Chain A
């Protein structure tokens, strides 16, 4: 038996790494969430004070809401675009290859560069839209501007996922459908989409959990502003922890983030039947 699978020794480095850099800090954060600590001196236990404050904190509630909006809207924006472009780019034509490689350029840029670039582009006095809407200055649209920038940054990545998956769809399926007289649209609906099902799940999990923890783009682009219009939960945690130095309270927010993220990926896995995942292709 044991000769068929790699020995458990193989997992030691991965597990040690996980224990040291994920499990241990997580336990520390849970401990800190029950303390008052300003970064100086030693943390002192204060019972559930951080947690009862969290329940009363209107700003925290608002930032959870903003995070959810950001998550859902960026999923709604990114998924169809990435799916369509990915399937399109899966074609073998040279023009598609050239256009795709241009389209994948944002993947090569660092997040900081992207955020600074868009900030300059949307600057109200010297940017590209002077006199137009205040993309980063109007509290009602700033969050959607953030979605736009995040989508611009990540659609190419998800497109790449879909492109790879679409190329793996066996051509025989399309050939059979063509013989049966299926239209382009119905081939997409009845062959491509079902075949890409698990890619959609993977990409959605990445997107949803990714937007839950999005931080760097928003920090540089708006720093949560104007006012608190784009202060999402991770940013609220950062500002509480590293500007206000309320490490205990910031840790409580961090625990909420961990719980939300875990629950979210479990929910998506369960709801999408990811666990029973098996190949849908012929011969397996």
Chain B
């Protein structure tokens, strides 16, 4: 075959490639027909998405226009990351506040909502200040709460406790005693879904907070990984190691998951006595083991205090709330601002959240919470948050993604006993 006969096919090849690329780019350009509609992105949730859509209907009734798109947890984080600097970016996006939001703020992608909240005092004052602060970075507000508050609580199986003649723990030492009590009875003292590092993280968060107060972590978040070298971190991790080595979590937690058939089920079936989990565990149990909840066997208490520790026993960790933030480059920024200052504290929205079992982050909801399907539980959480001096956002949400990821890896190694408290600190401080 002569050389020349190759030339034309080669050129054709190039043309095909170029055409394909151009046409691929063409679709991402502007020219969407639904211009002016507020594009809202949120996390998928069969119950809450309906309520969020109702708030959009209410916004439309007021002359606005908006639409909701929802995604599963991990795909959401990835999509948001890729989309936020592009023409495909949403106008309002769901987030967890804290350091996670800070990455987007630092990149100049998030609109400052301070002035619009100051102008709409009614909106600003409607929310519990400590929750609103979850999306406050420096002295500016970058988000408005839009779902319920989800502190982490210590759940327990009342039946198992009664049979053992035991009381739920109020102090760390009581917790240690309970571990021995249940171990002797062949019951896993504490259920732990160890395949997912965030369940282990809840323990690390609470123990550090109780031992040394919230400042140690705030220091890590604000001043960088050097903050991990605070001696309080090794001290709290040593306490936690003691708990793990006592067999508090049983021997097989490393392959237990949080989904059906996992940690929640062994609590419901009485194979485990306690379970530290976010407040969503209640609805989760109601869904998966309805009889367990309806018979009144599911109990809950705040995390025990650690005597001699500096942290206030009322401090909480967990998801402070979820927030809507507006993108800086949005063409509908004014509409977005209007949405977050009018729709999210409306009585109808708040009541719908309560009826769905959520505990909305608004002030003066005591009366409304009586309409909750589980009023006792909802009021407990509401009071807990109102009385807490500090509500720490989950560390993995409050740190930049790269630091959070390596911390979670180290934490799993720690729970397996492959890494000592000091080695944990050295590893996370080095990043």
Contact = CB atoms under 8 A, between A and B. Distances in A.
Q: Which of A125, A135, A240 has the most chain B CB within a 10 Å cutoff? A: A125
A239 B16 CA distance: 34
Contacts of A125: 252, 256, 261-262, 265-266, 271
B280 interface: no
A9 B413 contact: no
Contact of A19 (B13, B82, B262): B13
Nearest to B188: A125
A20 B5 contact: no
Interface stretch (A44-52, A157-165, A220-228): A220-228
Interface residues of A, number: 45
Interface string B257-270: 10001100110000
B82 A39 contact: yes
Given A40-B103, A246-B402, A1 B81 contact: no
Contact of A20 (B21, B81, B252): B21
B405 A9 contact: no
Contacts of B402: 38, 244-246
Interface in B393-410: 401-402, 404-406, 409
Interface stretch (A10-18, A65-73, A205-213, A254-262): A10-18
Given A7-B5, A12-B9, A225 B17 contact: no
Interface of A, secondary structure class, is loop
Nearest to A236: B409
A123 B253 CA distance: 10
A12 B13 contact: yes
A12 B16 contact: yes
A2 B1 contact: yes
Contacts of B251: 134
Interface of B, secondary structure class, is helix
Contacts of B255: 122-124, 134-137, 225-226
A223 B254 CA distance: 12
A40 B401 CA distance: 12
Contacts of A228: 409, 412-413
B404 to A, nearest CB: 8
A243 interface: yes
A16 B13 CA distance: 5
Nearest to A125: B266
A222 B409 CA distance: 13
Interface in A98-154: 119-120, 122-126, 134-139
Contacts of A8: 1, 5-6, 9
B195 A223 contact: yes
Nearest to B408: A243
B271 to A, nearest CB: 7
B25 interface: no
A59 B409 contact: yes
B9 A9 contact: yes
B409 A5 contact: no
Interface of B: 1, 5-6, 8-9, 12-13, 16-17, 20-21, 74, 78, 81-82, 84-85, 103-104, 107, 109, 194-195, 251-257, 261-262, 265-266, 271, 401-402, 404-406, 409, 412-413, 415-416, 418
21 contacts: A8-B5, A12-B9, A16-B17, A20-B17, A38-B402, A39-B82, A40-B84, A124-B256, A125-B256, A125-B261, A125-B265, A125-B266, A126-B261, A136-B255, A137-B255, A227-B254, A242-B74, A244-B401, A245-B81, A245-B401, A245-B402
CB-based closest 8 A-B pairs: A137-B255, A226-B254, A124-B252, A244-B405, A137-B254, A16-B16, A136-B255, A244-B402
